[in-house]
Structure 1
Amino acid sequence: MKKRVLYIVLLWLFADAYFFNAVTTLTANPIWHWVYWSADILIATGVITIIFGRRGSEPPRAISWLMGLMLLSAVPKILGMPVLLIEDITRLFRGFPPRSVWVSELALVVAAIPFFGLLFGLTRGRHHYQIHKHTLYFPDLPEAFDGFTLTQLSDIHAGSFSDAKGVNKGIDMVNAQNSDLILFTGDMVNNKASEMTPWINDFARLQAPYGKYSVLGNHDYGDYVKWESEAVKDANLVSLKGVHKQIGFRLLLDEAVEIEKDGQTITLIGVENWGKGGFHKYGDLEKAVAKVDDSQVKILMSHDPSHWEAKTLNHLKHIHLTLSGHTHGMQFGIELFGFKWSPVKYVYKQWAGLYKQKDRYLYVNRGFGFIGLKGRVGIWPEITVLTLKKG
């Protein structure tokens, strides 16, 4: 982790040095040169000091702000660098004449576009909720559930919230969908159950006529902080399970329940967190589906989308739809005109939106909250609305 941060800082400072050519071409004023370098050196020093000097297991809040400032500085320069690089290639064959002023101006304009996009994301993006609607067709869906709607939330991360107005804006948007069922796919907190205490009454306002159900995510177990003892850690998890109940969610722990409408049923399954790599594999899908009739339409809530290809997709019992979260879309990327990209795609094959294989669906929610980076850039917080149709 520390090595990766150091490499990122070094890459950023290299981009700083190269982009500085555009600044010196446009102005010889030493004050602007001093401003350019002093801000970035202060940010880089702060990041390195916190990462390499901190003693606790929980990262301080300052690192979130410094990460945001680092992105705000680095990304525009990296994206503006190709303009300077193209000119340098031509200068190589022209005997290295002085850099053109208009090219440096163009590089600044190109850098300004992502700068203001990042600025919006870091200041307003954390509550820039987007509603994603999809209609899913199932030939064996009971007639009573034709048109049945689900609203999925994921990754609340209450420990990161500070703006009650912003949070309640999202909650109001959820209720405005008037969905039949609300499903929450894990990571209610960053680490501790107490993080949710100020927000219990707000999230208790969520309403759905056929109920509210939830599962746990990797952050809910308290695995990322040091505890006085295992007993204290266990007590925290018990307390968090109680918070789900206070909010009105029925927490599913490797179990299944039937949702009934007009005498017909579909099955909702919830497993504990099951993640790839270094993430804990608490969930037990076999236990959860042991008593489920295979003729039922089945919807699975499983926090980590890697569970889908690893266990769910080829399971003997046909699981029609899996709902996941976890990735947040890395809270950074591009989604425009059907194009979708984020660095997290190189870690998770399924990282945001709807996927389908073998007549089985996976939906990966981009997350309601945020963690680490205090904002979202391009990958906005999500409220998912899925309509089930027979066909």
Structure 2
Amino acid sequence: MAAIPFASMLYAMFRGKYDYRVHRQTLYFDNLPEAFEGFKITQISDVHSGSFDNRAAVQRGIDLIKAQKADLFVFTGDLVNNVANEITPYIDMFSQIKAPYGQFSILGNHDYGDYIKWDSAKAKADNLQELKNQHQKLGYHLMLDKNVRISKDNQHIVLIGVQNWGRGFIQIGNLDNALNGVNPNDFKVLLSHDPTHWEEKVRYHKVPVQLTLSGHTHGAQFGVETAGFRWSPVQYRYLDWAGLVSQNNRYLYVNRGFGFLAFSGRLGIWPEITVITLKRKVA
């Protein structure tokens, strides 16, 4: 009996943390433009590149992302653990990810460098600027409280990206600024790293955001998920910690994370690549 948890932890540390799984969701909306029927979005989150220790395993994950052949690719924050140069050895790999309608990204709480001591405020600011430059090298359009139209066949949806806003974490994301110039009737997809932003702000906002994509929780990298039962210790901290939830025709999807942090492993909550297909709701 003692061998079972021991073997499980060994698997978590040597294989589980790179055991990438694709989670697929098809979502139906009343106001999705006809041109976007079947539009496919691939999302990853929480890369935490400073934790990687196996380039070949990471490449397998990149290849799996590429194999989804999505229309749009999005990354929802925490590219690094603390410093910008953690992603440098992997730029050649993550820059392989391309999508016809672009690659877009946001920052997560770890990206601001708040969890280590800096020699000066300037050094910290320079690190953040370097991280922003790294997004550009990756070919990702970094969205800091901004929005962009994704156009197809003379119709469009709006992609919105906010800086980090999380309960108990840095709160500088401004949804109102990010919505500037957006028609309230437009179909909107929001990138927001921390799901507590959706819980406290997005789902009640006067301007409806149909779909929010988040990450942050990692599902604690440990738990149980079966067809009829889900448990992770992270559920005692977060109301919405993995997968899909909805309220008032507004959806939130929480990605379980591509990488890992602190505990160098995953058991039961495997690293995730999310594929969301948008569909029009049939009357």
> What range is the shorter-chain TM-score in?
over 0.9
1:20-51 deviation line (CA, Å, top 9, x unaligned): xxxxxxxxxxxxxxxxxxxxxxxxxxxxxxxx
> What is the aligned partner in structure 2 of residue 228 from structure 1?
119
1:244-289 deviation line (CA, Å, top 9, x unaligned): 0100000000010000011100000000000102x11010111111
Amino acid at match of 2:215: G
Q: Residue 154 of structure 1: which of 45, 56, 70 is its match?
A: 45
Matched, 1:328 2:233: no
Matched, 1:240 2:117: no
> What is the aligned partner in structure 2 of residue 117 from structure 1?
8
Q: Residue 129 of structure 1: which of 16, 20, 25 is its match?
A: 20
Q: Residue 140 of structure 1: which of 19, 31, 54 is its match?
A: 31
Q: For residues 135 and 26 of structure 2, what CA distance do their matches in structure 1 show?
A: 28
Matched, 1:265 2:152: no
Compute the RMSD of aligned alpha carbons.
0.8
> What is the aligned partner in structure 1 of residue 279 from structure 2?
389
| Cα offset, 1:338, TM superposition | 3.6
Amino acid at match of 2:8: G
| Cα offset, 1:373, TM superposition | 0.4
Structure number with greater Rg is 1
1:4-26 deviation line (CA, Å, top 9, x unaligned): xxxxxxxxxxxxxxxxxxxxxxx
Q: Within 5 A, what are the aligned runs for 1:19-58?
A: none
Q: Residue 314 of structure 1: which of 186, 197, 204 is its match?
A: 204
| Cα offset, 1:112, TM superposition | 3.7
Choose between structure 1 and 2: higher helix proportion: 1
Q: For residues 248 and 328 of structure 1, what CA distance do their matches in structure 2 show?
A: 25
Q: For residues 229 and 118 of structure 1, what CA distance do their matches in structure 2 show?
A: 40
Which secondary structure does the structure 2 equivalent of 1:116 belong to?
A: helix
What TM-score results when the alignment is normalised by the length of structure 2? 0.98
Stretches (4+) displaced over 6 A: none
Q: Within 5 A, what are the aligned runs for 1:1-391?
A: 108=1, 111-277=2-168, 279-391=169-281
Q: For residues 119 and 134 of structure 1, what CA distance do their matches in structure 2 show?
A: 31
Q: For residues 347 and 221 of structure 1, what CA distance do their matches in structure 2 show?
A: 22
Amino acid at match of 1:231: K
Choose between structure 1 and 2: higher strand proportion: 2
| Cα offset, 1:352, TM superposition | 0.3
1:175-211 deviation line (CA, Å, top 9, x unaligned): 0000000000000000000101100011010011100
Which secondary structure does the structure 2 equivalent of 1:167 belong to?
A: helix
Which secondary structure does the structure 1 equivalent of 2:216 belong to?
A: coil
What TM-score results when the alignment is normalised by the length of structure 1? 0.71
| Cα offset, 1:365, TM superposition | 0.2
Q: For residues 90 and 146 of structure 2, what CA distance do their matches in structure 1 show?
A: 27
1:89-139 deviation line (CA, Å, top 9, x unaligned): xxxxxxxxxxxxxxxxxxx3xx44333222211210111000000000001
Q: For residues 228 and 165 of structure 2, what CA distance do their matches in structure 1 show?
A: 30
Q: For residues 172 and 15 of structure 2, what CA distance do their matches in structure 1 show?
A: 35
| Cα offset, 1:290, TM superposition | 2.2
Which secondary structure does the structure 1 equivalent of 2:204 belong to?
A: coil
Amino acid at match of 1:123: F
Unaligned runs of 5+ in 1: 1-107
Q: For residues 264 and 9 of structure 2, what CA distance do their matches in structure 1 show?
A: 12
Q: For residues 270 and 245 of structure 2, what CA distance do their matches in structure 1 show?
A: 19
| Cα offset, 1:340, TM superposition | 1.3
Q: For residues 341 and 135 of structure 1, what CA distance do their matches in structure 2 show?
A: 24
Q: For residues 337 and 115 of structure 1, what CA distance do their matches in structure 2 show?
A: 25
Which secondary structure does the structure 2 equivalent of 1:361 belong to?
A: strand
